Amino acid sequence: MARSNDEVAALFHEYADLISINGGDAYKSRVYEKAARSIGGYHADVSTLDVKGLQEIPNVGRSIAEKILEYFRSGSVSAVEELRAKIPTGVRRLTAIPTLGPKKACALHEELGISSVEELADAIHDERLRDLKGFGPKTEENILHGIELLQSSGERALLDVAMDLADDIVTELSRATGCQRCTYAGSLRRFRETIGDIDVLAAADRSAPVMRAFTELPYVSEVIAHGEKKTSIRTTKGLSVDLRVVPPDSWGAALQYFTGSKAHNIRTRELAVHQKLKLSEYGLFDAESGKKIASETEEDVYARLGLPWIPPTLREDRGEIEAGLHDELPDLVQETDIRGDLHTHTDLTDGLAPLEEMVAAAAERGYAYYAVTDHGPNLYMQRMTDERILAQRDRVRELDGEHTTRGRRGGMRLLHGAELNIGPDGTVDWPEEFLAGFDLCVASVHSHFNQGSEALTRRIVRACENPCVNIIGHPTTRLIGKRPPIDADLEEIFAACARTGTALEINAHPDRLDLRDEDILRAKRHGVKFSVDSDAHATVHLANMRYGVGTAQRGWLTRDDVINTWPETRLRSFLLKGRTARRSRG
């Protein structure tokens, strides 16, 4: 299930927005934004803490701690409810639109009486916003983009939210009487970036005990349908879950069928028809006699169709059938292949945990190496200085090799890096002479998202050409359902990365998953290398690596494509980039 921390974080994010909408103190709004981030990234379950324990969380004082206790005691916070009551429902609806801030939402409601997304879209098409101060054609275009994002996301959940719930359901149902096997299927098993309904599959000779356990889960708010083979519920978090129980000897066929995708299943059924077979969720049958030929495992079903087992993350009808028939399926990168995380933060800038805690948590994951990449000084709110980053480097060197890691000889090696801000003109925070002292540099776009396509493209290409920039972080800057990708020429950027030896990041944060799988496929054709990173701002965020690896698999990546699966010697050689040649020329 979703962590209690995430519930409270979402509530305080909303409270911060409500304060802004109501014209409240901007400082107070920022206080709750900071508290929300800290709570979301805190390692302990906040529902188990008292006031004293809550106040140990960064940015959580006594007043906020008491509101957290009030939430778990009564299910709501009176201060939040009071503000909700003061603000028209229409304004709150409008603030759900990405790119539309609270002040503009208020102006639209007060000046034009707009109280729904549909009314706003109509007003833009009628050009009624242009008489309002602060609204023009570009603003209208941005709002329409936001409406498209909102509508496309619909009621779909982010991958991590769906995965947490599915993992919990599978664990609980696996304990049910008679349940022999249980797992999630559907788009979740394929690691799609957002999930509609969650599909769970169980194998049992008798379905009734498993169905009963499913409907009695504590977070079931509604049983939508209840049957012998399929039961559907809605959870208290609004997600719908379908459970199908099949006979154990049909497990493989059912798992293949309910994993999908629809397009992939059409292709496998076509293969069956050509061989005078019939494929369904119950098995692979001889079309004439009806005799069952294969069904117990997915491997059996695929083998009888003349295919190797195809990893779920590839099952999108994007060439996997043809690759399987020609024995050309890639040996996909696995989470166990990841030797280190190359983009992480500490509380020196906007992280929540000190360096020592982040390093210890990385060592617990068994990494061979680990990079610390706090923000450079061009993000002014981070208050970075040369002195602070150099002091951190000294401490990183002291900790280098101090932590033993499971299954590896020698201590975990530390790399000292930085996440640089790519400015509007493509320059980064420090001059090359200073940057040369870092083990690696990640460079990312953090502002000026609305530059023209040509300027954005030139901006990132220039960063790639910097001999000290090793990785382009979250390359399209998107936030799923909240901010669209920047309008840059990705093909030109991919070519520049391949030409300069700059890796592209696959940012594993579930809000980002940037690059997208489609972009990874395109970049791979250019010969680009990739880095799958957590962009962790707290110790719990390190576990997001699984989502980045799933996205990398959807982009058909192997170990050789991903630089942080490489041995340390090969990685460090790659990170030298053009610096060695540049020094020799000097």
pLDDT at residue 577, rounded to an integer: 85
Residue whose entry in the numeric block shows the structure tokens 């054709």: 525
Task: Look at the domain 251-325 and name its fold.
Answer: Beta Polymerase; domain 3 (3.30.210)
Residue 281 in 3-state DSSP?
coil
The 3-class SS string of 118-143 reads HHHHHHHHCCCHHHCCCCCHHHHHHH
CA dihedral sign, ordered 114, 117, 119, 121:
positive
Q: Which of 249, 256, 244 is nearest to 301 (CA)?
A: 256
Numbered ranges of CATH 3.30.210.10 in the chain: 251-325
Q: C-alpha 537: how far from its chain's center?
A: 14
The CATH number of 157-246 is 3.30.460.10
The token duo for 512 is 């980002």
CA distance 186 to 526: 31
Mean pLDDT in runs of 10 for the chain (586 residues)? 76 84 79 86 86 89 92 89 79 72 76 80 82 78 76 75 94 96 97 94 96 94 92 88 96 96 95 95 93 94 97 96 96 97 95 94 96 90 87 97 77 96 95 96 94 96 97 96 90 97 97 95 96 96 97 98 97 84 36
CA distance 437 to 289: 72
CA distance 72 to 6: 13
Helix (H) or strand (E) holding 530: strand 530-533
Does the domain at residues 335-585 carry the CATH identifier 2.40.37.10? no
pLDDT at residue 386, rounded to an integer: 95
CA distance 563 to 191: 22
Numbered ranges of CATH 3.30.460.10 in the chain: 157-246
Contacts 24+ apart (CB under 8 A), 110-118: 114/90, 115/88, 115/89, 115/90, 115/91, 116/90, 117/93, 117/147, 117/150, 117/151
Numbered ranges of CATH 1.10.150.110 in the chain: 4-153
Q: Which of 511, 218, 533, 504 is nearest to 373 (CA)?
A: 533
Scored b (16 or more CB within 10 A) or e, 532-545 reads bbbbbbbbbbbebb
pLDDT at residue 582, rounded to an integer: 39
Dihedrals φ, ψ of 517, to 5°?
A: -60, -40
The token duo for 14 is 């909303």
For 4-153, which CATH superfamily applies? DNA polymerase beta, N-terminal domain-like (1.10.150.110)
Numbered ranges of CATH 3.20.20.140 in the chain: 335-585
* Residue 312 C-beta-side C-alpha neighbours within 13 Å: 20
